[in-house]
Structure 1
Amino acid sequence: MSLAPYHIVNPEGTARWVLLCDHASNRVPEEVGGTLGLSQADMARHIAWDPGTAGVTRELSRLMDAPAVLSNFSRLVIDPNRGEDDPTLLMKLYDGTIIPGNRHADAAERARRLALFHRPYHAAVTDLLSRRTAPVLVSIHSFTPQLRGREPRPWEVGVLFSHDRRLSDPLIAWLKKEGDIFVGVNEPYSGHLPGDTMDRHALGPGRLHALIELRNDLISTEEAQSRWAARLAPLLTAALEDAEIARNG
């Protein structure tokens, strides 16, 4: 394989936090041809990755002394934030754009990409979590300000969750206390997606967790990524303290 399908940053970090960045990269590995037939402009769009999230995740890792696992392949190669049986695992059309390199991908190609990229990424997450005591997961994503033909998305930060809101609720409360952040509660998506990363590594094992969505126009520069990481770090810390107080009664 040309390059590993993931990066691990600060693996010996001492915090309970474990950071995940499922859509950190828009790279198309050599094993898939190095291209999916899209223009550079399309590969720079949100359809291929979550712009800005790698920088935010790396800076959070530094500020919080937390290990982080970042993907090293485009979500269009195969989406690590989908279960293996999810119909959107290997996208052939996304936000109005046909993906030429996926147009004729069959079950065998899907299985090959699962083996090369999707499963190694999740194995790395599983291994890292298995070596830590009571880890708390935070997954960092970004969203486009407007999908084609849809209404603009006004939220600046979204917190997504399913049935376990132990960390999400206090995080939402702390974000709202800032007073100048338009917070989306399960926006712009629902946090319930069976088989996705948080379902697999947090909900299933019962771990404290939160999924944060940042609007990608707000984290388009390194400076902005650092600024948002610096803002999120103390809010996450405060939210975890509240969650632990609630748990211990």
Structure 2
Amino acid sequence: MNSRSNLYFYYPKEKELEQKLEPLFDLAIENGFQIVEEDKDANIIISVGGDGAFLQAIRKTGFRQDCLYTGITRANETGLYCDFNLDNFDEMVQSMINEELEVRRFPLIDVLINNETLFHCLNEASIRSAIIKTIVMEVYIDDMHFETFRGDGLIVATPTGSTGYNKSLNGAVLDPKTPCFQVSELASLNSNRYRTLGSSFVLDKERKLTLEFVQDGNDYPIIGLDNEAYSIRNVKDLTVTLSEKMIKTVKLKNNSYWNRVKRTFL
């Protein structure tokens, strides 16, 4: 970690939090690290505030491929992406100095809207009706028609995102070392006209998922990308693939992803 000495902190500009961070900044500087004001100058980007802040930090800094990300939770927060707590930041500094950290890579999904605008997601993409009416989508896997979905919406989750919204829909929790993505339903309507699989399904990294929107009033669906929502005009189709990009994070050597899952849910 010696070559990664420039730290950028992403956090809400709250006076109380800034006061708590000041001694931590001092500790980092005392141990040979430099606090930078611009994320572009950082080797390591550190979010403060749990998983939501971690996702925001990655999005706001452009899903950088040339640096490491890590997260710090506060006392009342938990995080599957965050190894450290604000009250034991000194442990993080010492771990970085003594090289007790490991680099891990989390897969992203690429979300292409109307074959024009590309977004990345670390957690999930959600597609929901923006009006009090079910949304209808034609679902294609590798350009083969799979089903006609009618319901409240669909969730497409990465392996790490499988523990979020996807899990609340009874989707499977996936190992982040498995390059794939998962599709889960939101209140599907099954009848003689509309028929869906009725369960989550997992697609390999080589697969392509295409959703074509039936224009029956849902011309402005709500599209959630991680923890940001967009209302995009005249959405006709949406294509999801596993991205070639990955987010590199640092973790304690004795704190695996499944350690965190057990600690969070069991």
More helix by share: 1
More strand by share: 2
Higher gyration radius (CA): 2
TM-score normalized by the length of structure 1: 0.29
Q: Which has the higher contact order (CA 8 A, sep 6+)?
A: 1
